[in-house]
Amino acid sequence: MNKETASERIEYLCKEIEHHNYRYYVLADPQISDFDFDQLLNELIHLEILFPELVNDNSPSQRIGGQITKEFTTVKHKYPMLSLGNTYSEEELAEFDSRVRKLIPGEEVHYVCELKFDGVAIGISYINGVLRQAVTRGDGVQGDDVTTNVKTIRSIPLKLNKNNFPNEFEMRGEIILTHAIFEKINADRIEIGESPFANPRNSAAGSLKMQDSSEVAKRKLDCFFYALYTDDLKATTHSDALNAASNWGFKISEHRKLCNNLEEVMNYIHYWDKHRDDLPFDIDGVVIKVNSYRQQEELGFTAKSPRWAISYKFKAESSSTKLLSVVYQVGRTGAITPVANLKPVLLAGTTVRRASLHNADQIEKLDLHLEDTVFVEKGGEIIPKITGVDFSKRKSDAAVVVFPEVCPECGSKLQRVDGEAQHYCPNEDACPPQIKGKMEHFTNRKAMNIDGLGIETIELLYRENIIHTIADIYSIRKEQILNLERMGEKSAVNILDGIEKSKEIPFERVLFAIGIRYVGDTVAKKLARHFGSIDSIIKATSEQLIEAPEIGEKIAWSVRQFFDNPDKLLLINRLKEAGLHFSISEDSANAKLSDKLKGQTIVVTGSFEQYSREELKQMIEQHGGKNGSSVSKKTNYLLVGSDAGPSKTEKASEMGVKVISENEFLELIS
């Protein structure tokens, strides 16, 4: 394909993909299958690799992410991002309505009622219909430029298709996470021993500030827009502006409502107070805005907020009930989670029996005693939490809740790493829930994917003394399975087939499966690609581990802890003998593509347009080159990205090392 045809095809694919993104993520009404969508996207990515000069800043391929932001730059808002006055009471809302009417006497006032999304505020500017910059609220005057990360959010248009929008405008909205995605993120975090996010808002805020945009893309954030700002306003009312923005392709909640008087506003509030749990995302109230822009102007602003809008916040639903007991759950990594058992109580439409207490600090902060009457709240959080104790009801002889010193399952003395909130049971190899948890993790679909070895079968095999460690799985014999309750020939064959097939699982997944604390599937991939084999990882010092992309001190410490344990080395040897993959395979990402960089050492620094730093490093190795960590006499090239600091480039020019750009590098290997 020549450049001209490629350019036309790329333009067509960009439009087509964005259209289907809109159908799927904004309208929730897809026209094509996921498979067909992926085909289009893959074709685009393929063409963009062949013709990097044709890659557009706002290509839908940007949504996959890849760019790394080391530090978010601070940007001044063109229109300050004010906050809203808020109230919890209907009387105050009536006072707001009277104030508004007094300031614009004799005129009819209409209000637009909207949901108050509980997420992270964002302002996104567009020039000639193309997304230019996305900035967080910050202090309202200036915020952080998070454009790269925001571009991964599928419901946010990168380029508008219509042409009746102002040349320059800004959309304000709220970045949110749905409950379903939030729960998935937390389940994954618990899986790798990380503490879960408290609520979707925190999770969305954390995601938006991640350095690796490809990780942000995986978080599946969403965004609802609720305001248009421009110097070139055509609409005369807020509701017309929202309707127009909706036509341009922005996701505006269908739950907005134009109300003609206070009574209609109250009805809207009552409706959503009752039905907010039916929404797939969190709201913490309702926003009421005067509809007419002229009236808004007349009303103006106080120092902090507009006089033409107010937010009515729902009271977090709370109740009180009795604390029956506190139990301590032991996870597969040994993390101890205290859970409160409560006298069942109805809260926000569901019966609550348990509440998470997170860790020892939380228990101490609440000064919790057994049989206390506690306040339980279900605010933004999905899992109810205990917010306080009704001390007036405490019995004089109530026993204080003391965090145990030993593991409730195996009796080992608990440990707590300095600076961490979590306690751990160190008895990894003999504490039953840890052993079973590790085996479950190992056989999991995302790890070794051993069909037939589910929780119950593992439990049975463990109880019958057949398996104690993950390595024992590879010595299970057919007759041992047949001897178990409810196990027939068919199940036995199924299990053994699954075990046999798992030997084909690639190294990066095996590394994830062996269950090193803090090594989730993404980290495992990064370690596997960087080091190539388990032997190199075992040999690596903490410093060398930290040199791998995105491996920090905490992960490096955990990896070293794991492999410094002789029992773990024995375990790895047994798994090796069983025939599992412990080095990256030929056809995987690190396969040799050419010898074009043979004998060349390249140092990569900064952020890049088309590939992440990690991908570039991988490409260097794929083409026979070596990655250097600092510029020295041995360095042949310094590959420099956009925001590289001056020290490396200065050193390179002092030493006569050739400095090359991303495109020049791609030419070297093309």
Nearest residue (CB) to ligand IVH, 137 versus 332? 137
DSSP assignment of 47-73: HHHH-GGG--TT-GGGGG---B-SSPP
Contacting ligand IVH (CB under 6 A), which of 83, 161, 243, 585? 83
Q: Of 82, 190, 398, 660, which one interacts with ligand IVH (CB under 6 A)?
A: 82
- Which of 30, 306, 379, 433 contacts ligand IVH by CB under 6 A? 306
Angle at 58 between CA 53 and CA 64, to 5 degrees: 95
Q: Provide CB contacts within 8 A for 114, sequence distance 6+.
A: 226, 253, 255, 256, 286, 287, 289
Q: Which of 18, 48, 97, 114 binds ligand IVH (CB under 6 A)?
A: 114
Min separation Cβ 292 and ligand IVH, Å:
16
Distance CA 379, CA 296 (A): 32
Site string for ligand IVH, 153-192 (x = CB under 6 A): ---------------------x------------------
**Contact flag: residue 529 with ligand IVH (CB under 6 A):** no
**CA 501 from chain center: how many Å?**
31
Tally Cβ neighbours within 10 Å of residue 602.
Answer: 25
Which residue has tokens 């391929």? 61
Q: CB of 270: closest distance to ligand IVH in angstroms?
A: 18
Which CB sits closer to ligand IVH, 146 or 287? 287
List 117, 182, 248, 442, residue binding ligand IVH (CB under 6 A): 117
Widest CA span of the chain, in angstroms? 90
22 binds ligand IVH (CB under 6 A): no
Distance, in Å, from the CA atom of 250 to the CA atom of 18, rounded to the nearest integer, reads 12
x/- contact string, 132-151, with ligand IVH (CB under 6 A)?
Answer: -----x--------------
Pick the closer one to ligand IVH by CB: 174 or 615. Answer: 174
> Which residue, 170 or 428, has its beta carbon nearer to ligand IVH?
170
> Of the ranges 82-90, 142-150, 266-274, 515-523, which one interacts with ligand IVH (CB under 6 A)?
82-90
Q: List binders of ligand IVH among 552-571 (CB under 6 A).
A: none
* CA separation for the pair 637, 624 (Å, rounded): 14
Give the DSSP letter of residue 399. Answer: P
226 binds ligand IVH (CB under 6 A): yes
φ/ψ (deg, to 5) at 277: -70, -15
Taking the alpha carbons at both ends of the chain, their separation in whole angstroms is 16
- Binding segment for ligand IVH among 112-120, 264-272, 345-353, 568-576 (CB under 6 A)? 112-120
Give the nearest distance from C-beta 82 to ligand IVH in angstroms: 4
Is there a catalytic annotation at residue 116?
Answer: yes
Concatenated DSSP letters of 509-546: HHHHHT--TT--HHHHHHHHHHH-BHHHHHH--HHHHH
- Residues sharing a CB contact under 8 Å with residue 617, sequence separation 6 or more, in sequence order: 530, 549, 604, 627
Between residues 174 and 222, which has the closer beta carbon with respect to ligand IVH? 174
- In 10 A of CB 139, how many CB atoms? 10
What are the structure tokens assigned to 138, written together? Answer: 């910050």
Looking at the Cβ atoms of 137 and 378, the one nearer to ligand IVH is: 137
- Each residue 227-256 as x (binds ligand IVH by CB under 6 A) or -, in order, gives x-----------------------------
Contact flag: residue 111 with ligand IVH (CB under 6 A): no
Stretch that binds ligand IVH, among 19-27, 76-84, 488-496, 654-662 (CB under 6 A): 76-84
**Which residues from 283-302 bind ligand IVH, rule CB under 6 A?**
287
Instruction: Name the residue whose CB lies closest to ligand IVH.
Output: 121
Report which DSSP code applies to 25. I
Q: Contact between 109 and ligand IVH (CB under 6 A)?
A: no
Cα separation of 309 and 111, whole Å? 9
Chosen residue from 14, 26, 55, 84 binding ligand IVH by CB under 6 A: 84
Specify the residue, 114 or 377, whose C-beta has the smaller distance to ligand IVH.
114
Site size toward ligand IVH (CB under 6 A) is: 14
**For ligand IVH, the closer CB: 119 or 520:** 119
Cβ closest to ligand IVH, residue 311 vs residue 605: 311
Residue from 20, 63, 77, 116 touching ligand IVH (CB under 6 A): that is: 116
Six-digit token pair at 568? 């773990």
Site for ligand IVH in 417-446 (CB under 6 A): none
Smallest distance, ligand IVH to C-beta of residue 79, A: 9
What is the C-alpha to C-alpha distance for residues 150 and 125, in angstroms, rounded to an integer? 12
Q: Exactly one of 3, 116, 378, 539 is catalytic; which is it? A: 116
Q: Does 409 bind ligand IVH (CB under 6 A)?
A: no
Is residue 121 at the binding interface for ligand IVH, with CB under 6 A as the rule? Answer: yes
Burial of 346 (0-12, 13-18, 19+ CB in 10 A): exposed
Q: List, in order, residues 6 or more apart from 565 with CB less than 8 Å away.
A: none
- Judged by CB under 6 A, does residue 545 bind ligand IVH? no
Q: Rounded CA gap, 516 and 531, in Å?
A: 16
Which of 93, 95, 103, 90 has the alpha carbon at shortest distance from 292? 103
Report the helix count and the strand count for the chain, using DSSP H and E. Answer: 24, 22
Q: Which residues bind ligand IVH (CB under 6 A)?
A: 82-84, 114, 116-117, 121, 137, 174, 226-227, 287, 306, 309
* Catalytic residue positions, numbered: 116
